[in-house]
Amino acid sequence: MSLPSDAIDAAAPLAPADGGWQMLPARARPLFVLGALPLALAVAAPAFALSALFDLPRLLLVGLALLAGLAFAVGFGLRSHRYARWRLDAQGLAIRRGRSWLRETRVPLNRVQHLDLKQGPLQRARDLATLVVYTAGTRHSAVHLPNLDAEDARRLRDVLGEQIDHDDDA
């Protein structure tokens, strides 16, 4: 099933003229970095264990490990933001994440059941939102697209919601 022509026209401002992938807004970068901060502890934990095991100067080793973990987490968060993309076309919504381990999720329009918009306090402060697309089926029945521009998230919700209404009428 394809989008009705008026829904495609409504989706046009969301997609670039070349039909390519949309990046997330730059103001979402800090939220990706915050989400990666637990990696800093995961990197530093082995250093803490080694310092206790081998009776090494704990403060220095753990401090250096935390700095290294923090640098790794910041880099990971920035790369996660850089390689997160989305696209809406006549077939549905596509989400692409990663570069080394590329993961692409495709949600055909006829599988969309309902949609939610979520905004935490940090997202509201940066005018961002998470679009949650619930699909038919049991595996991966909810697809999350975090840290979208709030206006893009509302327009995506409206365009995909029109398709649900169109399918219900048929």
Residue 113 CB neighbours (<10 A): 12
Are residues 59 and 119 both part of a single domain? no
Question: What are the beta bridge partners of residue 94?
Answer: 87, 106
- Residue 56 is predicted with a pLDDT of 67
Range of the domain at 162: 5-23+86-169
Task: Produce one character per residue of 117-132: b if its CB has 16 or more CB atoms within 10 Å, e if not.
Answer: eeeeeebeebebbbbb
Confidence of residue 65 (pLDDT cuts 50, 70, 90): confident
Cα angle vertex 151, ends 153, 106, to 5°? 25
Confidence of residue 57 (pLDDT cuts 50, 70, 90): confident
* Residue 122 covered by a domain: yes
Are residues 15 and 46 both part of a single domain? no
Number of alpha carbons in the 13 Å side-chain half-sphere of residue 36: 19
Instruction: Say which amino acid occupies 48.
Output: F
Are residues 133 and 64 both part of a single domain? no
Phi-psi region of 135 (alpha: psi -120 to 50; beta: other; left: phi over 0): beta
The pLDDT tens digits for 118-153 are 999 999 999 999 999 998 876 768 999 999 999 999
pTM of the model as a whole: 0.77
Q: What is the largest CA-CA distance in the chain?
A: 72
* Residue 28 covered by a domain: no
